[in-house]
């Protein structure tokens, strides 16, 4: 399946990244000389995406100016300057700006490096894995041992067929949600008005047995604080060389 549309969640305040984010939005913080959001956009472009909606709120004009110069993919702005809508509300508003159909959803403040050379990318593989007949969402997941900057929280248990349930400590090793998934945009047709957390739809999908995951190949990186930037940059250097 070739998925041409995406939503990048980029409207957060980045409070844990202060004082850097006193003057720059977190998606524009650079890791190894590249803004965080460009890692997400480049990954989507490499997977064949033609357009991406990006939501904006904090220091929005900086985001608009940066995205205006991004090339190779159409960028559509979803403006939340009037008020933050949280992850779910922001996604529900953003997908209305896209054609109806399957859509990639990514967070703007995390990425991965070191995908195996000469293989399909993680997002391309995820698109092939997604089956709308039995899945509401197909997520990329990662083993905690292949993360840098993560807070240690385990999110889901994964069955052999990829079906996900909420992790219960002591049951199995569990997996970390890697911040990228595929869904059909119509999934949010019944979304509530105003702000809400995406966990509402994650839990609905779990209850229905329709939340699935696929393991990411490579190394997953996030930087939530100024102190975490150096570790993130070291991970990029190390795993790009190994790719």
Q: Which two tokens stand for residue 27?
A: 């998606």
Token readout for 76 is 């559509």
CA distances from 27 to 54, 100, 192 (A): 11, 27, 27
* Phi, then psi, of 84 in degrees rounded to 5: -65, 145
pLDDT of residue 170: 79
Share of the chain residues as helix, strand and coil, in percent rounded to the nearest 5: 35, 25, 40
| Signed CA dihedral, 83, 87, 92, 93: sign only | positive
Task: Report all structural domains of the chain as residue ranges with CATH numbers, in order of start.
Answer: 5-242 (3.90.550.10)
Give mean pLDDT in consecutive 10-residue pieces for the chain, a chain of 243 residues: 94 90 94 94 95 96 96 95 93 95 95 89 96 96 92 92 92 91 95 92 96 96 89 87 44
Beta bridge mates, 196: none
- The span from the CA of 127 to the CA of 110, in Å, is 19
Structure tokens at 111: 């990425």
Q: Which residues contact 115 (CB under 8 A, 6 or more apart)?
A: 121, 122, 217, 218, 243
Within a 13 Å sphere around the CA of 99, how many CA atoms are in the beta-carbon half? 8
Enumerate the β-bridge partners of residue 5: 51
Residue given tokens 């472009």 in the structure block: 45
Distance CA 138, CA 145 (A): 21
Predicted TM-score (pTM) of the model is 0.93
pLDDT tens per residue across span 136-182: 999 999 999 999 988 889 999 999 999 999 998 877 889 999 999 99
Residue 45, classed as helix, strand or coil, is: helix
CA distance 49 to 7: 10
pLDDT at 243: 40
Contact yes or no for 212/138 (Cβ under 8 A): yes
Contact 95, 103 (CB under 8 A): yes
Question: What is the C-alpha separation between 7 and 186, in angstroms, rounded?
Answer: 14
Residue 172: per-residue pLDDT? 82
């Amino acid at each position: 399946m070739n998925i041409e549309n995406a939503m990048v969640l980029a409207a957060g305040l980045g409070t844990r990244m202060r004082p850097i984010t006193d003057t720059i939005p977190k998606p524009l913080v650079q890791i190894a000389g590249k803004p965080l959001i460009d890692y997400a956009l480049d990954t989507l472009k490499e997977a064949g995406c033609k357009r991406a909606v990006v939501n904006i709120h904090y220091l929005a004009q900086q985001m608009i100016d940066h995205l205006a110069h991004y090339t190779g993919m159409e960028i559509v702005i979803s403006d939340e300057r009037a008020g933050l809508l949280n992850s779910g509300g922001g996604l529900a508003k953003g997908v209305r700006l896209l054609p109806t159909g399957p859509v990639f959803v990514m967070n703007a403040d995390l990425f991965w490096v070191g995908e195996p050379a000469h293989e399909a990318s993680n997002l391309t593989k995820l698109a092939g894995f997604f089956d709308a007949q039995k899945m509401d969402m197909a997520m990329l997941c990662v083993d905690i041992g292949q993360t840098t900057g993560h807070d240690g929280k385990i999110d889901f248990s994964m069955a052999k067929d990829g079906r996900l349930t909420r992790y219960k400590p002591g049951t199995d090793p569990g997996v970390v949600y890697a911040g990228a998934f595929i869904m059909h945009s119509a999934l949010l047709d019944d979304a509530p008005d105003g702000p809400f957390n995406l966990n509402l739809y994650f839990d609905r999908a779990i209850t229905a047995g329709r939340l699935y995951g696929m393991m990411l190949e490579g190394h997953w990186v996030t930087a939530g604080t100024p102190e975490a930037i150096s570790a993130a940059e070291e991970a990029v250097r190390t795993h790009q060389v190994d790719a």
